[in-house]
Structure 1
Amino acid sequence: MRSTLRGECVAYIKAMSKPTVHQLLREAKAQRRVLVQPRCGVGSHTRMTQLLQQLERDAQPDILTLTIDSYTRLLHFDVVTAMLAQTPDALNGYPLVSHGWQRGRELNDAVRAPLQIRHGSPDARQLFECSLMAGITAFEGGGISYNVPYSKDVPLATSLSHWQEIDRTCGELADQEQIYVDRELFGTLTAVLIPPAISLSVTLLEAILAAREGVKCISIAYPQGGNLVQDVAALRAIPRLMAQHLPADVEVFTVFHEWMGPFPRARATADALIFYGALTARLGGANKVVNKSYMEAFGIPSAEANVSGVHTTRAATSKIFDFVELPEAEVADEMAHILEEVNELIAPVVDSADPMSATLTAFARGWLDIPFSPSCHVRSAVLPMRDPGGSIRVFEFGNLCLSEASKKRHQAQLGRFTSEMDFDHLRKIQEDIFHFCRTIEQPALPELSSLAMQALEPSR
């Protein structure tokens, strides 16, 4: 960013009359309150403005989102320009770079809530600069979590280097200007049966790399897996892991994504699932929850459905439900195992003098791995599966850097059915992916395509 632009950008951010995401997260953490944030993003600037204002008027979320379109994520700005001229409604998000930072400021000034950028780009440097110029100081993503779940052939070394530049700018702003960009790390990954230890290992490594560049505000996002005990244990593990591995002057916040998998089609059951996710966030001590809507099964939700999702989430995160009791001994046991597994997985990296290089080596050798990833730069040899209680375990370990004790524990938790002669692991994984559709609505599962069968094959 040129010095003249940077000075103007800093002045604009400091003159803003509303709190930043960092300030809201700090207040929420102190008050044991859960912030609520909906997703939203459309191509037209006028419609985006109206959508943000409608959500604020009717739902009053704590934080609002600019979800960026997929062409911007891939730096295909020429395609965006053509679509804005002809079919802006066909874009699946807001093309901030193409609209320009001046229009980004118009969006920022149109609502009281602070904005966050959500996107999915392995190279978000231009988007980040445009976001800062628009006065937006909350930016999601990382060199691992915004690469391997989305991209087929972007080397991890490339994406980690791009995100290192972003984090370095955040560090400079914190050190020189006392502007704290909330860097949210996307532990959801592929959103398909992600074992907690893998999710937390990836975000922890991204957090370590960000902190080395001077980032002072880090949010760790974890996706709802579906078992209450396991999800609460994972959320409670986040502060402990970050305190163990990050400098004391880095503020850490916990974010929970409501169910990211296939959604029930019926309104009542979809609302029930949203409520369940929000209650999980509350019980797990999350500082923020990113909500879903009852229209998830049908595509991009309407503004009205999004408003409803915020209200349902807000109800479930109320202190009125503090009477709900958990089997705390089970939660503590699950959390102890998650902490142990994360430390096993990240050991080759944190013990290295060069954590970025060690991260690349760990993925190349399969010591770290992401299930169901499209990327050719990870092995994707890990095959997860639900145990009889619905918790996500590891069925095929690949080369994961887990101890024999941890592996045996996963095998024991999955039970004897996985070793039966006629066990159909492909069918089981499909049922596990459609977990909430299957357990709530009992639909007929679609037949697996040959491509899906190939993708699920553990020997891939």
Structure 2
Amino acid sequence: MRPGAHPLRRTAEGARPVDFGAFVRARSRTGVLVVQPRMGFSDPVTMRAGLAATRAADAATVGTITLDSYTRVGELASVENALEAGTGLNGYPIVTYDRAVTGQVLAGIRDDAFPVQVRHGSAVPGDIFAALRGTWINATEGGPVSYCLPYGRTPLDESVRNWVRCTEDFARLRESGVEPHLETFGGCMLGQLCPPSQLVAMSVLEALFFCQHGIRSVSLSYAQQTHPGQDREAVAALRRLCGELLPTTNWHVVIYAYMGVYPTTDEGAYLLLDEAARLAVASGSERLIVKTVAESRRIPTVAENVAALEAAARTARTAAPERPPSTESDSQTYAEARALIEGVLELSPDIGHAFELAFRQGALDIPYCLHPDNHGRARSYIDGDGRLRWAGIGRLPLAGLVGPARSRDVTSSGLIADLSYVQRAFDRRAVESHGIRGRDRAEIALPDSGFS
């Protein structure tokens, strides 16, 4: 079957999309947490069914179309070959399908009560943004750093140029009466083992980059890490910095359920998701991107995505309100994040150029990232309390803020243990608190006494 010749290929003009950011903020003002899946299917019929099920879930939801890996890296010939052969992809190939196909996927589902966001992961997103504009999809995410360093070997200066062009083109949707929205992926760098201050700083910097190139509706991400108290402190710092530095009031914070190695048990996965939902509520965040019980094994089904959405919404509705961390005095996370941001902004008034200079000089340095433009001198570890700490700061502008590095170097075995810390801890909690349904306890790699 030709890529555009799908049964859903009919002319379908959907309603003009709402401002994604304003929609989420309006729901938040009513005391409701918006929940969102990470969902993408190559078959348009299945993709439409997934959006319909998300909309019908017992939760306040927004829709997601996640793109496939070939589209993310621009290997469109591979997409066409897969579609011709009837081979499933790990996401929706929005560039390859005729815009009428995507229009029909959205028709009758996307409206004022249910906006849809495209998620991709590309450092070369020109074709993707063109497809978004062609189908009036006005919400997506990414960033010149966060969609470059972790995902491939695209040179950072090339990624910056690509994102400048795409952001400015996307901003022109406003000329047609449509408000474009961009979410920075900067709060999720490598998913794990970045100390929270770096996640906060990168999220704010990428949001400033979007605003500098014409975007007025932004969201800032923060990925759940290894310690709830440290996470609450980090989101408080993020919200404070947004209020201090962003040139727009149309912003909100989105929490990502843990992005690293996920629990292997259903119970452990739900315990971790519950903690993410409580973090979102306690920190005043407006949106939560969920993960499912299948994350450690395969691509989740529509039903598994809906179950996760509804579980998170139930937790959010019943979560006891907490007093947010005080912003009257600078927390450690705030002080570090502010220093990182200022260390970049002082390099150039052009934030994209400042990114390039910062990585060249080591003022930004992502732990354990192998990209050629990353210095690779910064190191992190999980301490005995489960908090992420700096083991070494390289040339990061954190002198005087971060104490002496760990007394011993980070070893390969220590890094592997840290990478699986959350998975093992939550699977252990599942065993101790709930038992294991459908799995033999002996099959589960439990943490040793050092991770209890």
What's the counterpart of residue 62 of structure 2?
63
Cα drift, residue 102 of structure 1: 1.6
Runs (5+) with no aligned partner, structure 2: 1-12, 429-443, 448-452
- The whole-number CA distance in structure 2 between the counterparts of 1:301 and 1:374 is 29
What's the counterpart of residue 302 of structure 1?
301
Residues 140, 284 of structure 1: alpha-carbon distance in 2 compared, 3 angstrom cutoff: same
- The whole-number CA distance in structure 2 between the counterparts of 1:305 and 1:64 is 15
What's the counterpart of residue 118 of structure 1?
119
Larger relative helix fraction: 1
Tell me which moved more, 71-80 or 104-113.
104-113
Cα drift, residue 182 of structure 1: 1.3
Structure-to-structure mapping, 1:123-202, within 5 angstroms:
123-152=124-153, 154-174=154-174, 176-186=175-185, 187-202=187-202
Residues 212, 33 of structure 1: alpha-carbon distance in 2 compared, 3 angstrom cutoff: same
What's the counterpart of residue 262 of structure 1?
261
- The whole-number CA distance in structure 1 between the counterparts of 2:264 and 2:349 is 50
From 366, 370, 377, the equivalent of 1:370 is 366
8 A contact 1:191–1:261 mirrored in 2? yes
* Counterpart code for 1:434: S
1:427 aligns with 2:413: yes
What's the counterpart of residue 5 of structure 2?
none
Cα drift, residue 60 of structure 1: 5.2
Structure-to-structure mapping, 1:56-455, within 5 angstroms:
56-59=55-58, 62-89=61-88, 91-112=89-110, 113-152=114-153, 154-174=154-174, 176-186=175-185, 187-247=187-247, 249-318=248-317, 320-324=318-322, 328=325, 336-351=331-346, 352-403=348-399, 405-408=400-403, 411=405, 418-419=406-407, 425-442=411-428, 443-444=444-445
- Give TM-score scaled by structure 1 length: 0.84
- The whole-number CA distance in structure 1 between the counterparts of 2:196 and 2:80 is 40
- Percent identity of paired positions between Structure 1 and Structure 2: 26
The number of residues matched between the two structures is: 416
Cα drift, residue 199 of structure 1: 1.2
Cα drift, residue 19 of structure 1: 3.9
Residues 306, 332 of structure 1: alpha-carbon distance in 2 compared, 3 angstrom cutoff: farther
Q: Deviations over 1:334-358 (max 9, x none)?
A: x622221122112233223333222
8 A contact 1:44–1:84 mirrored in 2? no
Runs (5+) with no aligned partner, structure 1: 1-11, 412-417, 447-460
How much is the aligned-residue C-alpha RMSD, in angstroms?
A: 2.4
8 A contact 1:255–1:287 mirrored in 2? yes
8 A contact 2:267–2:427 mirrored in 1? no
* Counterpart code for 1:388: G
What's the counterpart of residue 4 of structure 1?
none
8 A contact 1:150–1:374 mirrored in 2? no
Q: Deviations over 1:91-139 (max 9, x none)?
A: 1100001012221111221424221111110011211121122121111
8 A contact 1:151–1:374 mirrored in 2? no
- Give TM-score scaled by structure 2 length: 0.86
Residues 336, 433 of structure 1: alpha-carbon distance in 2 compared, 3 angstrom cutoff: same
8 A contact 1:274–1:313 mirrored in 2? yes
